[in-house]
Amino acid sequence: MRDEHRMLSSSSSNSSSSTADAAPTEEAPVAAGPAAPTARVKVLFFARARDRTGVS
């Protein structure tokens, strides 16, 4: 029974460490993705504001 407990605890620690290692690599591209569309929206907003006010 003790051997089974050791196997379970070692397998759970291995799986948690592998998911912890994989998490930062998955989050990095996701965080970089939304930044570009936000910048485009701001640029378009200011361009339209200039067109409406007539300021060149």
Decide if 11 contacts 19 (C-beta within 8 A). Answer: no
Instruction: Say which amino acid occupies 32.
Output: A
Q: What's the pLDDT score for residue 17?
A: 46
Q: What's the pLDDT score for residue 15?
A: 45
Which residues make Cβ contacts (< 8 Å) with residue 56, sequence separation at least 6? 50
Sketch the domain layout of the chain as residue ranges: 2-53
**DSSP symbol at 7:** H
Q: What's the pLDDT score for residue 13?
A: 46
Q: What's the pLDDT score for residue 45?
A: 66
Count of other CB atoms within 10 angstroms of residue 36: 9
Separation CA 42–CA 29 (nearest Å): 21
Per-residue pLDDT tens listing for the chain (56 residues): 555 555 555 554 444 444 455 555 555 555 555 566 666 666 666 666 666 667 65
